[in-house]
A = this chain, B = another copy of it.
Amino acid sequence: QINPDRLHQRIADLAAVGAIDGGGCARLALTDADRAGRDLVCGSMRELGLAVSVDAIGNVVGVRAGRSDGPPVMTGSHIDTVRTGGRYDGNYGVLAGLEVVAALNDAGLTTEHPLAVAFFTNEEGARFAPDMMGSLVYTGALPLAEALAVQGIDGATVGDELARIGYAGPAPVPAAAPRAFVELHVEQGPVLDREGIDIGVVESVQGISWTEIDIRGTSNHAGTTPMSMRRDAGWAAGEIIAFVRELATELGGDQVATVGRIEFFPNLVNVVPNRAVLTVDLRNTDEALLQRAEARLAAHLAALRDAEKVEISTRKLARFAPVPFAPEMTDRIEGHARALGLTTRRMPSGAGHDAQMLAAVCPTAMIFVPSVDGISHNVREYTEPKHIEAGAQVLLAVLSELAGA
């Protein structure tokens, strides 16, 4: 049995680190606030008797010994947030994992296999791309050196920032695969809340394509330069924003498309911008449709280049094909949720998660709980206490079975 009060308290304690107006958190990866959050969670891990290790990309794994050695059954998520983050995204999965450990400790139970709770570095990808960086390196899908060299939106590199906050650990990556991986997370979308369902059984994660577009034009005077003589990098950026929305609307279905980040240079009222940098986030549950969206965007950029005589270069910040989870794991989650009297729904995940990287190396699945109004990456992100508790109960049941309690 989990202890709801203890879990809620841990969530509140972590939310107090990097707290921002409205109840949310700003703990961008590898900032001082992230360090403070890490220190707090590492402290809890040690109090719970876990053997804590930090690897070279800053992933933290706390292991509870089993009767036998060998790879652990693992749960976990991330504790970094976006700049306007909520208190549940990522944090909930990690802290519910600790609550499972605490519940097993309370019951004096030793599992057959070791049980591990992990939090992975820079899952959000908001400061450093790609997202899910820590789990990518953990599973060998991204070379460590490449990850360490990534430069963030503020110019700092992952390697320097890891060293600065004291989380460039000695444990090697890639690491040995866990026996299985289960990630508990808030849905972040509107489906469960709208349909009044307790538990989402996540069958897959949709494909993610992040592109940074760098446009070069000619700075010139806003008052004296005829429209026909402009090479306006800012206008080209605006045109791309408008196009990207049309693209999503036209492709329909699950297709989503977002321009979340933009910068103009020199960024002054009376100067035609000579440079604009913006990001496009495209997602689809269907890889073929996602590729079609990418191709449409590329064709549009080529046409724009010719029409405005601007130079356009692109850089892939992240690209992940849709990831299916293991049916034996989703079945298990569904079975335990129903046995607990909870309503369930099978669904894809709209957000990227560390679980999608772990899925490449071990049987993996995810448990979702409802997000009120589907709001996330917003300080108003909220999940009702009863759903927070229900998700943790399901996690306890699934992990107990997998680890052999």
Q: Residues of A with Cβ closer than 8 Å to B?
A: 82-84, 124-126, 129, 131, 153, 187-190, 206, 208, 210, 218-227, 229, 232, 234-235, 237-242, 245, 248-249, 255-274, 279, 281, 283, 317, 349-352, 374-378
Whole-angstrom CA separation of A271 from B379 in the bound complex: 12
* Interfacial chain B residues near A351, Cβ < 8 Å: 221, 223-224
* Interfacial chain B residues near A234, Cβ < 8 Å: 241, 258-260, 262
CB distance from A204 to the nearest CB of B (A): 13
Q: Are A271 and B84 neighbours in the complex by a CB distance under 8 Å?
A: yes
CB distance from A53 to the nearest CB of B (A): 29
* Interfacial chain B residues near A279, Cβ < 8 Å: 269
Known: A222-B260, A234-B262. A281 touches B270 (CB 8 A): yes
Q: Are B256 and A260 neighbours in the complex by a CB distance under 8 Å?
A: no
CB distance from A210 to the nearest CB of B (A): 6
11 A–B contacts, CB within 8 A, in A order: A83-B271, A84-B271, A125-B270, A126-B269, A190-B226, A223-B349, A224-B350, A235-B242, A238-B238, A239-B241, A260-B267
* Interfacial chain B residues near A189, Cβ < 8 Å: 221, 224-226
Most B CB contacts (10 A, CB to CB) among A153, A206, A223, A226 go to A223
Most B CB contacts (10 A, CB to CB) among A189, A218, A224, A238 go to A224
* Interfacial chain B residues near A153, Cβ < 8 Å: 268
Other-chain residue from B261, B273, B274, B378 in contact with A269 (beta carbon distance below 8 A): B261
* Interfacial chain B residues near A82, Cβ < 8 Å: 266, 268, 270-271
* Interfacial chain B residues near A242, Cβ < 8 Å: 235, 238-239, 241-242
Whole-angstrom CA separation of A109 from B291 in the bound complex: 77
Name the 4 nearest CB pairs between A and B, nearest first: A238-B241, A224-B350, A189-B224, A222-B258
Whole-angstrom CA separation of A241 from B310 in the bound complex: 16
Other-chain residue from B235, B274, B350 in contact with A245 (beta carbon distance below 8 A): B235
Inter-chain pairs besides A189-B225, A189-B226, A260-B271, 17 sampled, C-beta below 8 Å? A84-B219, A84-B266, A153-B268, A210-B269, A210-B270, A220-B376, A222-B281, A223-B351, A234-B241, A234-B258, A234-B259, A238-B242, A239-B242, A239-B245, A269-B317, A270-B281, A270-B377
Q: Are A245 and B268 neighbours in the complex by a CB distance under 8 Å?
A: no
Q: Are A377 and B256 neighbours in the complex by a CB distance under 8 Å?
A: no
